[in-house]
Amino acid sequence: MNLNPNSVPRLAIVIPCYNETEVFPFCLREMGEYLNDMIRRNLVRAESYILFVDDGSRDDTWQQISAAAKEHSFVRGLKLSCNKGHQAALLAGLANATQADAIVSIDADLQDDINAIGKMVQSYMAGHEVVYGVRASRQTDTAFKRTTAELFYRMMTVMGVKQVFNHADFRLLSQRACAALLEYHERNIYIRGLVPLVGFPAEEVYYDRKERMAGVSKYPLRKMLALAMEGITSMTVSPLRLITFVGAAIGAISVLLFLGIMAYWVLKGCVSGWAFVIVALFAATGIQMLSLGIVGEYVGKIYLETKERPRYHIEEKEGFPAGNPSVPA
C-alpha cells in the first residue's frame, strides 16, 4: 500500500448504479477517458480503475457492466444480490475497492463534474485524506428541491450533526480514511454524516453540477424523504430531546391556563368555552401521536441494529484480480 500521500496514488473510482441502462454507456466513456487522461498526466498510476456497483438493477445494467469489465482492464464490476439502496451499494463499493491508495465515489448520472476528481487527487497529494466535492450553487435544481435541500442541511446543523453544506456523496477518501469509515458497523447508514466523524485532514473542492446526461433520477421525493429521515435518526437524538422540551412547555402552559381559569371562576363565578377545550384536546392528542411516532422510529432503528443483519450480499464479481475475496458486509 502506498502510504505516502505526496506520491502518485493508485485511484479507485466507485460508482453505484441502479437501473442505469441508458446512462451507463455515457458514464463508461466519459469516466474511462478522464481516467486515462489522469494516467497520461501522471496524476494517478496506471493500475487505477473504475468499480461499478450494481444495486440489484431490474434492467440490463449488470450485463453492460460485466461486458465492460471483460473488454477494459480498468473496469471492475460488483453485483449485489438485490436492491439495498444507494448508501449500502456505495458502502459495498468502498469495502471492495482494494489495491488503491485513494478512493473517489461519484454517481453514474455524471451530474457531478468529473473534472473535480483531478483537483481531489491533487488535494490528496498535498496531504488531505478526505476531500469533499461541494456544489458551488444549486441553480440546476428546481426551486422546491433547492429550498428543501438547504433547509435540511441547516436543520441537521442545528441538531448538532457534522455535515458539509451542499455535499452529497462525491468525495475522495484515502485508504486509511476509508478503512476508518468501514469500522462504523451500524445498519442505518448515512455516509455523508459519518465521514466527518472519521476525522483526518480534510479539504473541500467546489464544482458546478450539470444536468443528467440520460435516464431519470433514481432519487424521487419519496427516497429523498427516506434518506433525510435516515440521516436524522441515525446521527442525532435531538428529536427525542425536542419531545421533552415540548412536553415541558405544554405542561407549563397547562398550569398557566389552570391558574387563569381558577382566577376567572373566582371573579366571574362561571367558566365557559367548550370550543377552546376541544381545540386544546385535539392539539394535545396530535402532539402525543407525533411524539409516539418519533420514539417509535428510534425504537425501530434499535430493533434493526440488534438483528445485526448483513448490509448487502454480493452475487457476482467481474474484472477483479484472481484471489481477491469479497469483503463482508
**Could you report the per-residue pLDDT of 255-286, keeping only the tens digit for each?**
676 677 667 667 666 656 664 676 567 667 66
29 and 168, same domain (yes or no): yes
Contacts 24+ apart (CB under 8 A), 144-152: 145/224, 148/224, 152/228, 152/231
C-alpha cell at 26: 455515457
The set of cell numbers assigned to 179 is: 478503512
For residues 24 and 139, membership in a common domain is answered with yes
Helix/strand number for the chain, H first, E second: 10, 8
Q: Which of 167, 43, 165 is nearest to 101 (CA)?
A: 43
How do beta strands 130-135 and 202-207 pair? Answer: parallel
Is there a domain that residue 231 lies in? no
Asked if residue 3 has pLDDT above 50, the reply is no
Share of residues in the chain with pLDDT > 70 (%)? 66
Provide the mean pLDDT of the chain: 78
Q: Quick check: is 150 in a domain?
A: yes
Cβ-based neighbours of 249, under 8 Å, separated by 6 or more? none
- Tell me the residue range of the domain where 178 lies: 11-219+311-318
Distance of CA 282 to the CA centre of its chain: 37
Distance CA 139, CA 285 (A): 41
Is residue 102 very low, low, confident or very high in pLDDT (cuts 50, 70, 90)? Answer: very high
Asked if 107 and 155 sit in the same domain, the reply is: yes
Residue 226 lies in a domain: no
Is 204 in the same domain as 251?
A: no
Q: What percentage of residues in the chain have a pLDDT greater than 90?
A: 21
- Quote the CA–CA distance of 256 and 262 in Å, as a whole number: 10
Q: Which range, of 11-15, 124-128, 214-218, averages the lowest pLDDT?
A: 214-218
When pLDDT is cut at 50, 70 and 90, the band that residue 164 belongs to is confident
Query: Is residue 24 domain-resident?
Result: yes
